Amino acid sequence: MTVRQLSIFLENKTGRVTEVLDTLGSEKIRIHAMTIADTSEFGILRMVTSDPDKSLTLLKNRGFSVNMTDVLALSTPAEAGRFAEILQCFSAEKISIEYMYAFSLGKTAYMILRTDDCTRALAIIAKNNLKLVTYDDLKFL
Amino acid sequence: MQKKIEIWNETFECMSREQMRECQSRRLVETVARVYHNVPYYRSKMQQAGLTPDDIRSVDDLHKLPFTTKKDLRDNYPYGLFAVPMSEIVRVHASSGTTGKPTVVGYTRKDLSTWSEVVARTLTSAGVQRSDIVHVAYGYGLFTGGFGIHYGCEKLGATVIPVSGGNTQRQIQLMHDFGPTVLACTPSYALYLAEAIKDSGIPREEFKLRIGIFGAEPWTENMRREIEEKLQIKAIDIFGLSEVIGPGVSSECQHQCGLHIYEDHFYPEIIDPETLEVLPAGETGELVFSTITKEGLPILRYRTRDITCLNYEKCECGRTLVRMDKCIARSDDMLIIRGVNLFPSQIETVLLEMEETSPHYILYVDRINNLDTLELWVEVDERFFGDQIRELQAIAKKLQHNLESRLGISITVKLVEPKSIARSEGKATRVVDKRKLI
């Protein structure tokens, strides 16, 4: 039910992100979502790709420090107040959001989030009839 | 009006070379007998070399004795080399060792008196008088700097202000309000203070400083000129190491042409660091000291790792004491950061103790605004790289904390990608020292 997301450690050096993207692109791996969390010292590049296992291997072979995390991907109609509604469901049950990234285009909005309690988060999603995006869904999006 | 004292102890500081040699030989013979009978380590070393105290009759026989190194002190940590029972040791000090353990030194009451005497000579050679007020910004604690200068000042009769290190704003306020005429600290801190005084806007005329007593780290003639111009004082170089006694081993007179060694207490030799051969006067090599009056921790042929040369010519000041050149280089990998000794291997020890970091690192040393800075680049260990900024920051912070508490100085930690630090087959380059000492 969760989606696997790669996280890659990057020093603040120009060209590093390009190298990651080139590595994946040259093997025809598609990137569904990505974001960079940065500090003045370093950054963490987070990505959801079309082939997480292959991505991990490719990047490790190129010498990157890579990790895999389970995150939740949700979709919702692109209307005002929808994001707030979703987050309300979590905060009502005292679940914290560690981080999230979202994008809205046309009629649908997508968000990827990591919570501090995946199991309970999934239960909340089911209880509130929130729409989960799974790995299979991503293949066809 | 009190007469100005130029030389604290004329008897010894202006002794003829022959008399000095006789005095040194007598004291050396006593010391060798004392360590042979009281320090198992020295007895065993001498026996291994087939020597007994009878084989040492004068300083001419000194070359027969084996050397002592920092490792020997470490192997006998903490009190194994003391030549007296602990009940006679009235003070203990310590400085950095190559690994986790510090180098420990001990003093009897007589040793403390000797120490005060040589520091009084040091202060006098710099022009300090009873009427002076001395601001001591060397650290007080296990480090010998603060206490060493302190007791020497009291012996001299000068007024000592025991400020210790840190809190620059407060230092400036005290320097202004208490009116010290003498500043004792590391040369790089002196430059730092000079800038801070300038920034404070307080006019230089409101400060009464006229002399600086600077040591604990190497500094060049250029740095001296800069300090003298910026602080408008006479900047005197002093030298010492805790294994020998602390500050007070040697110091410049006002002619600033080499540091007079208090050789009636500390007998110097220069050796070739590779062949270990004793070199004649005038040749550059590693400085070796034998203490000939200390009781608590007498030490024979201690390899300082400092590179210098000796000059036996009589000085313009009237002293006949042998002079050593300013020490700039070392024959080992020890660094001196803001007056504190640091061995790269100490960093390795901390890194190896932490699972989250790999032992691959580079230490960048620099001097910014006259203060030494340390930046440690460490590779992230993949197993511990999670998904969150917070986790990585926690690792960096933990490492920084562990380093600071072990090493006693602050280091900035920068996490870098795995394998980004060059590997080498031989000894890896671990330290990049960007400080230009020239």
B332 or A113, which is more confident? A113
Least confident of A54-58, B139-143, B218-222: B218-222
Task: Report the C-alpha gap between A9 and A82 in whole angstroms.
Answer: 32
Give A92→chain B minimum CA distance, Å. 24
CA atoms within 13 A on the CB side of A42: 26
Average pLDDT (B91-111) is 87
Give residue B270's pLDDT band: very low, low, confident or very high (50, 70, 90): very high
| Interval B64-83: pLDDT, tens | 999 999 989 989 999 999 99
What is the residue type of A24? L
* pLDDT over 70, % of chain B: 97
Q: Within 10 A of A137 (CB to CB), how many other CB atoms are there?
A: 14
* pLDDT over 90, % of chain B: 70
3-state DSSP assignment of residue B136: strand
Give A28→chain B minimum CA distance, Å. 25
* Residue A110 near residue A133, CB atoms below 8 Å: yes
Q: Is B382 on the interface with A (CB under 8 A)?
A: yes
Strand pairing category for B335-337 and A97-105:
unpaired
| Interval A115-125: pLDDT, tens | 999 999 999 99
| B241, pLDDT greater than 60 | yes
What is the residue type of B89? I
Q: Residue A11: which of B386, B387, B417 has the nearest Cβ?
A: B417
Average pLDDT (A55-70) is 92
DSSP E strands: which ranges in chain A?
Answer: 3-11, 31-38, 42-49, 65-77, 97-105, 108-115, 131-132
ipTM: 0.76
The mean of the pLDDT values for chain B is 92
- Reported as type and span, the H/E element at residue B160 is strand B159-162
Q: Which residue of B has its CA nearest to A70?
A: B387
The mean of the pLDDT values for chain A is 91
Residues in chain A whose beta carbon is closer than 8 A to a beta carbon of chain B? 5, 7, 9-11, 37, 39, 41-42, 44, 46, 63-67, 69, 98-99, 114
Average pLDDT (A60-77) is 92
Backbone angles phi, psi at B210, to 5 degrees: -135, -20
Q: Is B416 on the interface with A (CB under 8 A)?
A: yes
Q: Which residues of A84-109 are buried (b: 16+ CB within 10 A; e: fewer)?
A: eebeebbeeeebeeebbbeeeeeeeb
Q: Cβ contacts (< 8 Å) between A46 and chain B: which residues? A: 387
Who's near A24: CB < 8 A, 6+ residues apart? A31, A49, A55, A58, A59
Task: Report the C-alpha gap between A41 and B311 in whole angstroms.
Answer: 51
**DSSP designation for A105:** E
| A80, pLDDT greater than 80 | yes
* Residue B339 near residue B189, CB atoms below 8 Å: yes
B380–A39 C-beta distance less than 8 A: no
Task: Report the C-alpha gap between B386 and B241 in whole angstroms.
Answer: 46
B386–A67 C-beta distance less than 8 A: yes
| Interval B176-228: pLDDT, tens | 999 999 999 999 889 889 988 988 999 999 999 999 999 988 888 888 998 99
| B425, pLDDT greater than 80 | no
